[in-house]
Amino acid sequence: MKLGCSTPRPRLLCTAILLFFSASVAAQSGQVLTLEQALKTIDAPHPDLQIAQAERDMALADQSGVSARRDLSVTLEGRLQRVKPVNAGADFLSDNSVRLSARKNLFDFGRSDNAEGAARAVVQARDLDWMDVREQRRIEIMQRYFDVLLADLQYTADNEYMSVAYVTFDNARDRFQQKLISQVDLIELEARYQEWLVKRNQSQKRQRITRALLADAMNQPGQLASDLEDPKLSGNNRVLPAYEDLQALIEHNPRLQASKQLLEASRQRLDAVRAETHPSLDAEVDATDYATRPLPGRDAVRAGIVLSWPIYQGSRVSSQLAKEQAQFYKLQAEAEKRKRDLSEAVLNTWMEAEQLQKTARHAAKIQADYRDLVLERARGQYEVELKTNLGDSMAATAGAKLQQRAVEYQLALALAKLEALLGQPLPQPAKK
C-alpha cells in the first residue's frame, strides 16, 4: 500500500500511522516483562546481597570460634632432654618422654559466656543488615523498572513533538517556495525541528541506558528487556496512616535494630574483658610414657583440677577495656544518630507520599483528562478542515500521560520506601 504524503494533512496522517505502526511492532517483539517477574529476582546472587551474606558468614565463623574456647583440647608432646640428678657426683642422664594431655575448661567466671553472647548479637545484627539490603534491592528494582517505563513514555512524547515540528517545517518549505514566508521564518522552524530531533535521540538513548540499569539490578547484565508491562499499582489507593501512628513503628527498622544488637555485643565484650582478671577452672588428664628414664619418679597417668588465677597482667586488660569502652560510646552515638535520621526520613517520605496521593495525583489526572478532551476536539476540527493542530494535541496528550504515570510511580516508590524504613507493611487505619 502506498500513501501519498505531498500535502500537509496527509503528511500529518502518515506520521500518526507510522508512529502507531512502530509502537505496535515494538509491543509484539519479545516477551513482556512484568513488575512481579522483575521483583522475583530480588534473591538472585547480586553483589550487594553477596557482601551482606559474607558479613554474616564471618560473624558466624567468629561465633563458632568463640564457642570453641571451652572445647576439649588434646595435645601430644614429645620431649628429648637430659637431666642431672641431685646426688653428689651424678652425671647427666637421658630423660625422654611422650605425653598425651587432655584439658577441658569447666568454668571461667564469665569470660566465655559474655564473649559468646557478644558473638550471637553480632550474628543477629548481620541478619538484620541482610534483610535491609534485600529491601533496598526491592526498591532499586522498582526504581529501575519505572525508569524504563518513563523513558519509553518520554521517547513517545518527544517523538511526537519532533514529528509535529518536522511536518510544520516541511510545510513551511512549500510556503517558502511560494514566497509566502521569509527565509528567517523557515530557518526558525528548521531549528525548532532540529532541537526536538536532538531531544528525541537523547530519549532513545535513555531507553537503552535504563534497560541496562534494570538488567544490572535484576542481576542479569546484558539481558535487556524489550517490552515492559505498565503495572496497575493498586496499592497506591490504600489509605495513608497518620504520621503519629508511624512514629511508634520506627523501632522495627532493621538497620536500627542492627545498631542495637551491635551495641549489645559491645556491652558483652566489655564484661568479657573485665572477666579477664577472674580465675579459670580446668580439668586436666595426662598420660606419659618415659622411654629412657632411669629415675624412680614416674607418673604414667595424672588427673586433676587446675585453678588458674591471673595476678598481674600489666596494662593488657586496661588497654583492651579502654578500647572497648570507646567503641561502646561510638556505637551508642551511631545508634542515636541513626534513630534521628530514620525519624526524619520517615517524615519526609510520608509527606512526599501524602502530597503525591492527595494533590499531585489529582492534578495529573485533571491535566490528562483535559488533554484527552482537547485531542478529541482537535480530531473533530481536523476532520472538518477547520484547524490543523491535531499533531500538537497528540504530543501534548502524550506529555500529560507521561506526567500522570510519573506521579503513580513516585507514589509507589514512596510507599515502598516507607515500608522499608518501618521494617513492616503500612498499618491500616481503623475504620470509623
List, as one string, the DSSP characters of 305-335: EEEE-----TTHHHHHHHHHHHHHHHHHHHH
What the block records as the C-alpha cell of 262 is 551491635
CATH number reported for the structural domain that contains residue 199 in this entry:
1.20.1600.10
Residue with cell 509502537: 23
pLDDT at 140: 95
Whether 310 is in a domain gets the answer yes
User: Considering only CA atoms, which of 126, 125, 122, 144 is closest in space to residue 42?
Assistant: 144
> How far is it, in rounded angstroms, from Cα 423 to Cα 255?
9
Q: How far is CA 50 from CA 36, 60, 139, in A?
A: 22, 15, 17
Is 39 among the domain residues?
yes
Domain that includes residue 322, residue range: 12-18+30-82+92-422
Q: Evaluate whether residue 148 is within a structural domain.
A: yes
* Strands 73-79 and 32-33, bridge-based pairing: unpaired
pLDDT 10s digit of each residue in the chain, 432 long? 333 343 444 444 444 444 444 433 333 345 899 999 999 999 988 899 999 999 999 999 999 988 888 888 899 988 888 877 767 666 777 778 888 999 988 888 888 899 999 999 999 999 999 999 999 999 999 999 999 999 999 998 888 888 888 988 888 898 889 888 899 989 998 999 999 999 999 999 999 999 999 999 999 998 998 899 999 998 899 989 999 889 889 999 999 999 999 999 999 999 998 888 888 888 999 888 776 666 566 677 888 898 888 888 878 888 989 999 999 999 999 999 999 999 999 999 999 999 999 998 888 888 877 777 776 776 665 554 444 556 677 777 888 888 889 999 999 999 999 999 999 888 876 655
Which parts of 278-425 fold into alpha helices (H)? 316-355, 361-383, 390-422
- Grid cell 606419659 is found at 288
pLDDT of residue 125: 95
Provide the edge-to-edge strand list for the sheet that holds 73-79: 73-79, 97-107, 280-290, 301-308
> Are the C-beta atoms of residues 428 and 239 closer than 8 Å to each other?
yes
Q: Is residue 232 helix, strand or coil? A: coil
Q: 110's torsion region: left (phi>0), alpha (psi -120 to 50) or beta? A: left
Domain count of the fold of the chain: 1
Residue 371, classified by CB atoms within 10 Å of its CB into exposed (0-12), middle (13-18) or buried (19+), is: buried
Q: Could you tell me if residue 155 is inside a domain? A: yes
**What is the model's pLDDT at position 431?**
58
- Give per-residue pLDDT as tens, 50-64: 999 999 999 999 999
Question: Are the beta carbons of 196 and 161 closer than 8 angstroms?
Answer: yes
Please report, to the nearest 10 degrees, the dihedral formed by the alpha carbons of residues 260, 261, 263, 267 taken in order. 140
CA distances from 192 to 62, 85, 169, 247, 353 (A): 66, 111, 8, 52, 37
Residue 176 makes CB contacts below 8 A (sequence gap 6+) with 182, 183, 185, 186
Which strand (E) or helix (H) includes residue 147? helix 111-177
- Confirm if 106 and 283 have CB atoms less than 8 A apart: yes
Positions of E strands within 80-192: 82-83, 93-94, 97-107
Residue 429 half-sphere exposure toward CB, CA atoms < 13 A: 10
Element (H, E) at 50: helix 47-67
Three-state DSSP state, 298: coil
Placement of cell 526498591 in the chain: 139
Residues belonging to the chain: 432
The maximal CA–CA distance of the chain, rounded, in angstroms, is 137
Which cell numbers in the block locate residue 345?
Answer: 526520613
Distance CA 170, CA 120 (A): 74
Q: What distance lies between CA 323 and its chain's CA centroid? A: 32
**pLDDT of the residue at 95:** 76
pLDDT for the residue numbered 420: 94
Give domain status of residue 6, yes or no: no
Does the residue 51 lie in any domain? yes
Has residue 4 been placed in a domain?
A: no
Residue 142 near residue 416, CB atoms below 8 Å: yes
* Residue 318 belongs to a domain: yes
Whole-angstrom distance, CA of residue 217 vs CA of residue 39: 10
CB distance 105 to 31 below 8 Å: no
